[in-house]
Structure 1
Amino acid sequence: MNRSFENNLNTYKLLSHRKTDTEVPHGPFTVAVLNVGAPAAGMNAAVRSAVRVGITEGHRMMAVQDGFEGFAKGQIKEIKWGDVGGWTGQGGSLLGTKRTLPAKHIDKIAEQMRIHRINALLVIGGFEAYLGLQELLAARDSYDPFCVPMVMVPSTVSNNIPGSDLCIGADTALNAITGAFEAVLQLMEARWRHREFCVPLCMLPATISNNVPGTDLSIGADTSLNAIVEINVEHLREKMKTSIQRGLVLRNESCNENYTTDFIYQLYSEEGKGVFDCRKNVLGHMQQGGAPSPFDRNFGTKIAAKAMQWISRRLKDFYQEGRVFANTEDSACLLGMRRRALVFQPVTQLKEETDFVHRIPKEQWWLKLRPLMKILAKYRTSYDISDSGQLEHVTRPRARDIEIAITI
């Protein structure tokens, strides 16, 4: 039997068939689950998985509503096996989620952990969840209640969490964006020839979505706009002479405070006069998608189950003299996907990999796709797999370059 299929089958059996009270161990531990940051499709699947695995492991599971803000207000209640039934296919966050960081409510959160005797934390969310875990870890010296095992499961459509190549919700977001692009391209084919569309997106989708057929340019924070606009306009002018008389430009919503969507739209409208005209379309919250994709449902289920099993092991390791006390570096981790493997990494070690100003990892694996995207957009360029992907790969073609260009 295929190992991946076997793991999926075992997870399904574990989460679908409730054990009787006599079969379930009853331990002394209480685990809290909360969502932090913007909603992402697959969050609910992760919560369902965590709750049911925790109950199977013998823990008392507590649900925190509205993130750290709800934590401080005491919006905490026990959550049972049946309470999470049917959550897998629902989008958004049924627990409620907010971007509030714990630092401003640290006293109240510590008090709530004492009141409810919480022995471990599972935080599911985006960059705010990552920052929040860092703040809780830093507060351990002053607040003993935070000396417990803590783990974060990355879940955000931006896919910008250090330590994980992929986050829950990113696949659903890309599917939603691709569907929107295809609708725009179909409309241009039918009615609006000689048109260029500018669409602003969030971080990861602005580049990955460039793989959608018909995309000509992706503008991100790493892109030197002055260097590529003229080249792209020339490319579009030549393209309009062919049978493919439409174009699509994607813009990262945070790429530059001055190069706004309106600015890019006006720039292309001016440069394309007499050849093509422009329209703009802001996807906004459509990027979050609706119901999670099958991948995000499966990914959220598996990664949360693994996180809860890690918590169970760490609770046993740190349980001494009737209490849990964990103050080591490896007791606060992020569970991320690295090269198709799920890896636990101490959040303190991830600081060096983080660009806190731009809220992204310093190394972006998907930037290496830029050369391939130019080839798919029919630019004359080569695909250098040794390139780091940190710089724009398209430069003004010279006669000699055109002669030696690789055609794919």
Structure 2
Amino acid sequence: MHMGAPAGGMNAATRAAVRYCYRQGHTPLAVQNGFRGLLDDNIVELSWLGVDSWMARGGSELGTNRTLPSVDLGAVAAKFQQLNVQALILIGGFEAFNSLLIMETARKHYPAFHIPMVHLPATISNNVPMMEYSLGSDTSLNALVDACDAIKQSASASRNRVFVVETQGGKCGYIATMGALATGACLVYTPEVGMSLDMLRRDVRYLKTRYSLDEKGKSEGRLVIRNEIASSVYTTEVMTNVFKEEGGSLFDARSASLGHTLQGGIPSPMDRARAVRLSLKCMAFIERHHALLEAQPAKTRQATRESAAVITIQSSSIEWVPVQDMVQHADMENRRGKVTWWSGIKELVEALAGRPAIK
């Protein structure tokens, strides 16, 4: 089942899981359109040849949305029982993590959830706790860098133009921060740090000083990258107007919103490779925990808390984290992890642009 917003690598992961199923003698069922599709009986058995061309396809071939199982938990459990579901792979972002948590918590009420269940993080926002690189984040960054490189060419041709580029990412600033580093942006705004009037005033002063120090007639175009939810008051339009007004004769300002273009595109080689590797590890995990369940008496079978887990990339290793253990590392309200490994990169971006030296 795919959940949340589409991300590059979702289809590649599904293809690998389906082919592993046929190799091992399992029956792969695909739920179309998430839990809403499950309740509407949109369930198909995937074939070997049916997923043949999925490796290079972006988006989600199964269809995806943000509906959680809590919409009707009893009906979801009944469908699992009716279909004789013996294991579940959820491929998606924070909603998939939340869904896994809901179903694991509901095991005490619904025996149908006493099966191995795994979450394979796939989201362009890279906001799943303890997961350093979720599927789709690399593809999205490639799309952002391509767009920003083209925008910077336009800005540089005009000599004295600042472009405010708005990116997706929800309340997680990963795409904006890493995109700023990769494109050589001079400023970046993220939800984690937020925005204030003082910050905006200092940044305007920095841009004015920066352009005044440039060699006359040879000023470069500059990028400012802003996450879509960095501030509800200082929007992209407001910032652009402020820069335009304050720039005077030194610099002009324009804006560009990349929107949903970051969710599309052909998956990058990195996302495809990760998708296959992680998907196969998920299948092996499911088989292992299914065998442990089968060893228990049929009437009293109970899945362990370790059998509902999230596969994560931590540093250079792949770790299984039980979903209940993930909660303490998750900021459930803002739908992101409490600790982000890339938080210090914002300072690096601004240091490379000479921001700290210009007060």
Structure 1, 134-143 or 153-162: larger mean CA deviation: 134-143
Structure 2 counterpart of 1:358, which letter? N
Residues 86-95 or 46-55, more deviating: 46-55
Partner in structure 1 of residue 344 of structure 2? 368
The Cα RMSD (Å) is: 1.6
Aligned to 2:245: 270
Cα distance in 2 for partners of 1:110, 1:75 equals 16
Structure-2 separation of matches of 1:351 and 1:374: 33
Report Cα offsets for 1:239-267 as digits up to 9, x if no partner. Answer: 22313432211111112222222222222
Map of 1:353 onto structure 2: 329
Contact residue 163 and residue 334 of structure 1 kept, 8 A = no
Instruction: Pick which of 316-325 and 56-65 moved more.
Output: 316-325
* Percent of aligned pairs sharing the same letter: 35
Alpha-carbon distance between aligned partners in 1 of 2:73 and 2:183, rounded to the nearest angstrom:
48
Answering whether residue 232 of structure 2 is matched by residue 232 of structure 1, we say no
Listed as ranges, the gaps of 5+ residues in structure 2 are none
Give 1:63's match in structure 2, choosing from 30, 40, 47: 30
Task: Map 1:110-129; keep pairs closer than 5 Å.
Answer: 110-129=77-96
Select the residue among 174, 178, 185 that pairs with 1:204.
174
- Counterpart position of 2:267: 292
Given that residues 49 and 305 in structure 1 are in contact (C-alpha distance below 8 angstroms), is that contact kept between their aligned partners in structure 2? yes
Instruction: Indicate how the Cα distance of structure 1 residues 324 and 247 shifts in structure 2: closer, same or farther if over 3 A, else same.
Output: farther
Aligned residues: 349
What CA deviation, in whole Å up to 9, does each residue of 1:3-42 have, x standing for no partner? xxxxxxxxxxxxxxxxxxxxxxxxxxxxxxx100000011
Distance 2:63 2:264 in 1: 17
2: CA distance, partners of 1:212 / 1:226:
27
Corresponding position of 1:282: 257
2: CA distance between counterparts of 1:82 and 1:323?
38
| Structure 2 residue matching 1:98: 3-state secondary structure | coil
Contact kept, 8 Å, 1:48 with 1:85, in 2: the verdict is: yes
Measure, in 1, the Cα distance between the counterparts of 2:49 and 2:24.
16
1:244-323 correspondence runs (5 A): 244-319=219-294, 320-321=296-297
- The aligned counterpart of 2:315 is 339
Q: Separation in 2 of the partners of 1:326 and 1:293?
A: 40
TM-score, scaled relative to structure 2: 0.93
Q: Which moved more, 1:139-148 or 1:173-182?
A: 139-148
Q: Contact conserved, 1:216 with 1:247, CA < 8 A, in 2? A: yes
Distance 2:236 2:155 in 1: 20
CA positional deviation for 1:378: 2.1
What corresponds to 1:107 in structure 2? Answer: 74
Q: Secondary structure at the match of 2:344?
A: helix
1:89-168 superposed matches below 5 A? 89-168=56-135
Q: Equivalent residue of 1:249, what SS?
A: strand
Secondary structure of 2:91's aligned partner: strand
1:317 Cα deviation after fit = 0.8
Q: Distance in 2 between matches of 1:374 and 1:220?
A: 13
Q: Secondary structure of 1:193's partner? A: coil
The answer to whether the 8 A contact 2:145-2:183 is kept is no
Match of 2:51 among 84, 91, 96: 84
* Paired letter, 1:279: R
**Per-residue deviation, 1:323:** 7.7
Between 1 and 2, higher relative CO (CA 8 Å, sep ≥ 6) is seen in 2
SS in 2 for 1:199: strand
State the shift of 1:321 in Å: 4.1
Q: Tell me the distance in 1 between the aligned counterparts of 2:300 and 2:196.
A: 53
Structure 1 residue aligned with 2:145: 178
Q: CA deviation at 1:324?
A: 9.3
Which residue identity does 1:209 align to in structure 2?
G
Q: Once the 2 structures are TM-superposed, how far is the Cα of residue 331 of structure 1 from its aligned partner? A: 1.2
Of 376, 379, 382 in structure 1, the residue corresponding to residue 355 of structure 2 is 379
Q: Secondary structure of 1:366's match?
A: coil
**C-alpha distance 155-323 of structure 1, shift in aligned 2 (>3 A):** farther
Deviation (angstroms), 1:81: 1.7
CA distance in 1, matches of 2:136, 2:204: 34
Q: Residues 324 and 307 from structure 1, CA distance in 2 versus in 1: closer, same or farther, beyond 3 angstroms?
A: farther
Amino acid in the other structure paired with 2:200: V
